[in-house]
Amino acid sequence: MMEKTKTESVRRFFILLALAASFVFPAEGGWALSEAYKGNIYNPGKLRPRDSRLKVAVGQKAPDFTLPAVGGGTVTLSSFRGRKNVMLTFIPAAWTPVCSDQWPGYNIVEDLFAKFDTVILGISVDNLPSLYAWTNQMGKLWFPVLSDFWPHGGAAKRYGLLRRDGMAERAIVIIDKGGVIRYLDVHDINERPPLEGIVKELEKLP
């Protein structure tokens, strides 16, 4: 009986130690911020890796959408049908660490995407003014950035990529020229999808 109480005390001590350690040594983030954003990045901390239920699958037709673009006008997904493959890159939110550390990389490999006859559409649930200010820090992006702000996350919702807190997942959707989804990666929101994985999938396109 006494032994059992002692064991329980030791167990409690280690639980308390782990709890205390979680305050002192918070989870380490996997990102490196560019000075381009100065001190203006909001860190939401480590988030639930995935918080939505997909409504689409590889082999299905990609749901169409029309969204306003940062540069002006609107972009309709189906307008690329028969002409270009499309890579949708949904990001959770502007001015956050991993998101700020993603599209600028795609920006220096336009030739790589051109080689696979693929255009990129960047999509965020932020409104246009916020996206304008944020993407201006990235230099001039060669691909359109679309605002899925209103109705809030409408496009993300049709794909099943809207999280319960109103942000979108960090997701890559590759759609072929016929409008069929060829690749889906609902990535851990806390990490950036490696570029080589995307290129490997582009290589498989018909």
- Does residue 203 interact with another protein by CB under 8 A? no
Q: Which is nearer to another protein, 112 or 180 (by Cβ)?
A: 112
CB of 69 to another protein, least distance (A): 20
Task: Please identify which residue in 1, 82, 196, 206 interacts with another protein, judged by CB under 8 A.
Answer: 196
Where does this chain touch another protein (CB under 8 A) — which range of 62-70, 117-125, 137-145, 170-178?
137-145
Radius of gyration of the chain (CA): 21
- Does residue 71 interact with another protein by CB under 8 A? no
Where does this chain touch another protein (CB under 8 A) — which range of 20-28, 53-61, 122-130, 156-164?
20-28
- Does residue 26 interact with another protein by CB under 8 A? no
- Does residue 30 interact with another protein by CB under 8 A? yes
Q: Which of 119, 108, 112 is nearest to 69 (CA)?
A: 119
- Cβ neighbours of residue 8 under 8 Å, at least 6 residues apart? none
| Alpha helices, H only, 55-151 | 97-100, 103-106, 110-115, 128-136
Rounded to 10 degrees, the C-alpha dihedral 31/164/74/37 comes to -30
Total residues interacting with another protein, rule: CB under 8 A: 33
- Does residue 114 interact with another protein by CB under 8 A? no
The per-residue b/e assignment along 71-97, b for 16 or more CB within 10 angstroms, e otherwise, is eeeebebeebbeebbbbbbbbbbbbbb
The span from the CA of 74 to the CA of 44, in Å, is 30
Where does this chain touch another protein (CB under 8 A) — which range of 104-112, 115-123, 153-161, 181-189?
104-112
Where does this chain touch another protein (CB under 8 A) — which range of 45-53, 71-79, 125-133, 188-196?
188-196
Task: Please identify which residue in 56, 112, 133, 205 interacts with another protein, judged by CB under 8 A.
Answer: 112
The torsion angles phi and psi of 183, rounded to 5 degrees, stand at -155, 140
- Cβ neighbours of residue 41 under 8 Å, at least 6 residues apart? 33, 95, 96, 97, 100
- Would you tell me which residues interact with another protein (CB under 8 A)? 12, 16-17, 19-21, 23-25, 28, 30-36, 101-102, 104-105, 107-109, 112, 137-139, 192, 194-196, 199
